[in-house]
Amino acid sequence: MKWHRQRSGGGLYPTARAVLLMAAGAPVALVIGVAAPALWTIGFAWMLLVILLIGADALLAPGRNQVAAELTVAGTAPVGSRIDASLQVSARSRVQSAIDLDERLAPVDDVRRTLRGDETQSIPIRATRRGTAHVSALWLRWKGPLGLIWKQRRDDRDHAILITPDLRPVREDSQLLIQQAISGETARREIGTGSEFQSLVQWQPGMDRRAIDWKQSARHATLLAKDWQIERNNQILLAIDAGRAMAEPLGGTPRVDRAVTAALLAAYVALKLEDRIGLFAYAEQPIVSSAISPGVHSFPTLQRLAASIDYGTREANHTLGLTRIAQKLDRRTLIILFTEFTDPTSAELMVRACAPLLQRHILMFLIYRDEELEALAAAEPTEPEDVTRAVAAQALLRERAIVAARLRRMGVHIVEARHDTAGTALVEAYLGLKRQGVV
């Protein structure tokens, strides 16, 4: 259905049925005019009749004040989530509706609905970008009883929706990851895998034999093992590349939003494990820089700063960003960088900027697998254009692999994962470094 979206919003206009009726009189009038010129007024009478019917339909149709509509929208939603707007209409006739969305919202399907009488329908929309989104207008239109006229109304609305970073993984995954870090194979206190000596314990089958303290075992006439505790109070900096490449969508959500979600999950787990966390973000210039703070009480501050990271429109200046990070840090730090490789030039600059950091700090990269490129590269070609696309995709994937291999040779820890499991993979890699005593 086509809408006449004048800014004024209201108005009357004919339906397709009225146009067809009016047009149907033209050939009849032409035939009569040729066959019986004296009866030419019949064609004029037909058009006059249609006009009168349209006028009558406009009078009989429900007035603007006889159609009531109520639109309900949630006031807040995490980025990437689905929002179900509820529309209730009360009218004597069938009413068609549509809503106006800004650039931070996208329809899941058609936002137009047809409602009959007193009916309520759900309109699914998706939050695609962080910030304050608006549903600015509700459009309604209905026909007269003869189906010859549309009456249309535009209701100005100001439904503001605060689109926040997606904290669902923090709530859903963090407790499981923390529990794994406290007990089981990824215990927070493990035999022989920590970095701070805790105590001597009775050796039990399954423990690492390298943890046995033979001298103390001989003295006490029983087999004793050293209990090591993973070091606490480590310093971790989460660095987010907020340049143009990170604003590109991945699975329907910008990469930078994926990075913010993974960073907040890692921050929450690290704070619960009594490490210290800071946040840094940069595009062509540094845009966010927080103090490196301990305690879960600092998580709301990190969340607020992460929500302020905007979508970049220019290439990220890795040299400047990583140099500022080096100037910011006064002790050995695990730097987790969320970035994307787009072209060989920017990747080369980033690799060069990483070298000075590795002399003192530990560097970890979180890289999202580009499933779209992988699908293009693996697709069976059926047309010549498919071959071109596959070759281009393979070249881009090869460049990414080369950059990742160079970084690994330099000593950078690379975490490459799907967008839906990246946060968990990052936390597991971080816990692995803690168990190994690297951090």
What pLDDT score does 183 carry?
54
pLDDT at 143 over 70: yes
pLDDT at 63 over 70: yes
The pLDDT tens digits for 300-343 are 999 889 988 989 888 899 999 999 999 999 899 999 999 988 77
Do 251 and 155 sit in the same domain of this protein? no
Q: Where are the alpha helices (H) located in 61-135, listed in sequence order?
A: none
Q: What's the mean pLDDT in 363-372?
A: 90
What pLDDT score does 4 carry?
56
Do 150 and 179 sit in the same domain of this protein? no
pLDDT at 368 over 50: yes
Q: What is the CATH number of the domain that holds 253?
A: 3.40.50.410
Among 15-19, 29-33, 146-150, the range scoring the smallest mean pLDDT is 29-33
Do 332 and 275 sit in the same domain of this protein? yes
Do 204 and 248 sit in the same domain of this protein? no
Q: What is the CATH number of the domain that holds 124?
A: 2.60.40.10
Quote the domain boundaries for residue 15.
Answer: 1-164
Q: What share of the chain is helix, strand, coil (3-state, %, to 5)?
A: 40, 30, 30
Do 209 and 236 sit in the same domain of this protein? no
Q: How far apart are CA 187 and CA 185, in angstroms?
A: 6
The pLDDT tens digits for 379-404 are 888 888 888 888 888 888 888 888 88
Do 118 and 202 sit in the same domain of this protein? no
Q: State the residue for tokens 């987790």.
A: 336
Do 137 and 8 sit in the same domain of this protein? yes
What pLDDT score does 6 carry?
53
Question: How much is the mean pLDDT over the chain?
Answer: 84
Higher-pLDDT residue of 284 and 21 is: 284
What pLDDT score does 189 carry?
44
Q: What's the mean pLDDT in 2-13?
A: 62
Residue 192 falls within a domain, yes or no? no
pLDDT at 432 over 70: yes
What pLDDT score does 229 carry?
55
CB-based contact 277:271 (threshold 8 Å): yes
pTM: 0.72
> Hey, what are 360's tokens?
């003192």
Do 128 and 220 sit in the same domain of this protein? no
What pLDDT score does 176 carry?
66
Nearest by Cα to 67 from 133, 145, 155 = 155
Residue 38 falls within a domain, yes or no? yes
**Per DSSP, what are the bridge partners of residue 78?**
164
Q: What is the DSSP string of 398-437?
A: HHHHHHHHHHHHHT-EEEEE-TTTHHHHHHHHHHHHHHHT
Do 159 and 172 sit in the same domain of this protein? no
The pLDDT tens digits for 179-222 are 666 554 444 444 444 444 456 777 676 566 667 777 877 887 78
Among 42-46, 91-95, 142-146, 396-400, the range scoring the smallest mean pLDDT is 42-46
Do 205 and 239 sit in the same domain of this protein? no
pLDDT at 257 over 90: yes
Q: Per the structure, how many domains does the chain have?
A: 3
Do 71 and 91 sit in the same domain of this protein? yes
- Greatest pairwise CA separation for the chain in angstroms: 131
pLDDT at 235 over 90: yes
